[in-house]
Amino acid sequence: MKIALGIVAVAGLATVASAQLSTVSPNRSSPGPYGDRATTYSWDDGTAENGVGLTGGGVLAAINAFPVAAGDNVITSVDVSWGTPAFPGASGVVTGATFDYYVWSANGPGSNPSGAGSTLLFSGTSTINGANVDNDTFQSLAVPSVAISSTFFYVGVAISHAGGTFPIGVDQSAPTTSGVSWAAGGASFDPNNVGFGGGGTLDIAALSLGNWMLRANAVPAPGALALVGLGGLVAGRRRR
């Protein structure tokens, strides 16, 4: 089956960077609203210049890969931004529609989640919050503190959509980062065998589509910030 990804408009596409995941650090900023979290992982700058969908419709899975940084390896939520304010209404996303979201560990040092490259750790189902459509805000999705033991991890969302709609926002402003934002799905999506049916994933930055507006929030594992015996001094200090 031939898979084609479509965008709302092709004007003003960003230059694609050639940096590899092993040499690139994601943006790390203040956390989202769930619990006590140390950091937010992202590849976006907070603004979606475009939206992406499967040209013929189907189930689109958007996946971002992140290297674990500074011991923040317990995932507490996933954040996603639907559509883009540049083309309001083109997302086709409606309040109350269901979608799935996921966390995977990486099997080995690579950043491609295809097939044996990833192991599913968590899956959840939620519904679209209309307050997070076409306005560069993020819908936060709770994860029950999933610990990552690998060097890299993946988060993703999968949503069914009609042809000619573009449900998931992408940041296309330079620099974009290749090898970290992946598309999968088709007629259906199997999170235990990531890809397009029997095929692999697509690197959307390599296709000049940018990076997904898709983030992960995390904290260190319990015990990572240990108390020193004398005076109860804290050995590590949580970032603000």
Q: How confident is the model at residue 37 (pLDDT cuts 50, 70, 90)?
A: low
Cα(229)–Cα(161) distance, rounded to whole angstroms?
56
Mean pLDDT of 1-16: 38
Q: Tell me: the pLDDT tens digits for 162-211? A: 999 999 999 999 989 999 999 999 999 999 999 998 789 999 999 999 99
Cα(91)–Cα(94) distance, rounded to whole angstroms?
A: 9
Model confidence at 110, pLDDT cuts 50, 70, 90, reads confident
Q: H/E element holding 236?
A: none
% residues pLDDT > 90 (the chain): 68
Q: How confident is the model at residue 23 (pLDDT cuts 50, 70, 90)?
A: very low
| Neighbour count for residue 240 (Cβ, 10 Å) | 5
DSSP string, 83-97: S-TTSTTTT---TT-
The stretch 137-144 carries a mean pLDDT of 94
